[in-house]
Amino acid sequence: MTTGTAGVAATARIVARDDGRGGTSLPVLEGDGPLALRRTRGSGAEARVMLVGAMSGPLGGDHFTVEAGVEEGARLRVGSAAATIALPGQAKGEARYDVRLTVADGGALSWLPEQLICANGSDLYVTTRVDVGARGRLVLREEQVLGRAGEEPGRLVSRLVLRVGGRTLLDQELACGPGAPGGWDGPAVLAGQRAVGQLVVVRPEFAAEPPAPQVLGDGAAVMPLAGPAALVSAVAPDALRLRRLLDEALTSLG
């Protein structure tokens, strides 16, 4: 971890490996500063890790990075102990939160953190880049909430890039809050809602039988991608409703 007038820079790293005995080992599990990692009780061959926020943030000027790599035959599930709250800080400039995920052929990753809340006055740029092998499996959930209860939102720019088997299947960016392009809260984007989320599911069997596009409830849609993957996009008035929509979508995908 490094600190200075520009904010805090911190990195957390996870490597999951087949232990050769029907389970998954974690030869690399390290975090510093505000990014603490804890292994929890797993299930079967799956290892489980919780990301624990040891400090407030990200604040203005901070740069957090989380990296996770799942090797062939390994199974990893990552969650977080609580929501992450982006706050304004003494340092000027935007805060950055980068997530870098890799899943090898035959590996499986469930990336299921709690919500990211952009408090009033915050300025956050989030990038999530995922590389999955052609025979890898992924469940990734992102949830963003614009402002805490009763307050105006901070500024959020969120980019999600997915590559499967070396091909880019998804590259999308969403900008919301003060300073974002006009119309972000209009009917074509958030329609006045305060919570937005994505669910990405990658399964090799989708190459032969892709899921059908469908609308789920009021505010969620399932869209097959041009490869063995599907994207669910959802908007909702609050975090609780958003989670229900994404959970229903995951169930619908089997």
Tens-digit pLDDT profile for residues 222-240? 999 999 999 999 999 999 9
Q: Evaluate whether residue 2 is within a structural domain.
A: no
pLDDT higher at 35 or 168: 168
- 3-class DSSP assignment, residue 46: strand
Let me know if residue 213 belongs to a domain: yes
Beta bridge partners of 103: 70, 132
Say which residue, 247 or 181, is predicted with more confidence. Answer: 247
Helix (H) or strand (E) holding 199: strand 195-202
Determine, yes or no, domain membership for 1. Answer: no
Alpha-carbon distances, residue 104 vs 2, 16, 27, 197, 206 (angstroms): 31, 10, 16, 25, 17
Residues 118-125, mean pLDDT to the nearest whole number: 90
Query: Which contiguous run of DSSP H or E holds residue 144?
Result: strand 137-146
- Cis before 58 (ω within 30): yes
For residue 188, what pLDDT band results from cuts at 50, 70 and 90?
low
Contact 79, 45 (CB under 8 A): no
91 located within any domain: yes
pLDDT, residue 42, reads 81
CB 153, CB 176: distance < 8 Å: yes
**Residue for token digits 């603490």?**
36
CB-CB neighbours of 192 under 10 Å: 10
Per-residue pLDDT tens over the stretch 134-179: 999 999 999 999 888 778 888 899 999 999 999 999 999 999 888 7
* Average pLDDT score over residue span 56-82: 92
pLDDT at site 154? 86
Whether 114 is covered by a domain: the verdict is: yes
Residue 3 lies in a domain: no
48 contacts 41 by C-beta, under 8 angstroms: yes
Is 39 a domain residue? yes
Count how many domains the chain has: 1
Q: Which domain holds residue 201?
A: 8-252
Mean of the pLDDT values across residues 60-89?
Answer: 92
Tokens of 209: 């039988």
Residue 18 has pLDDT above 60, yes or no: yes
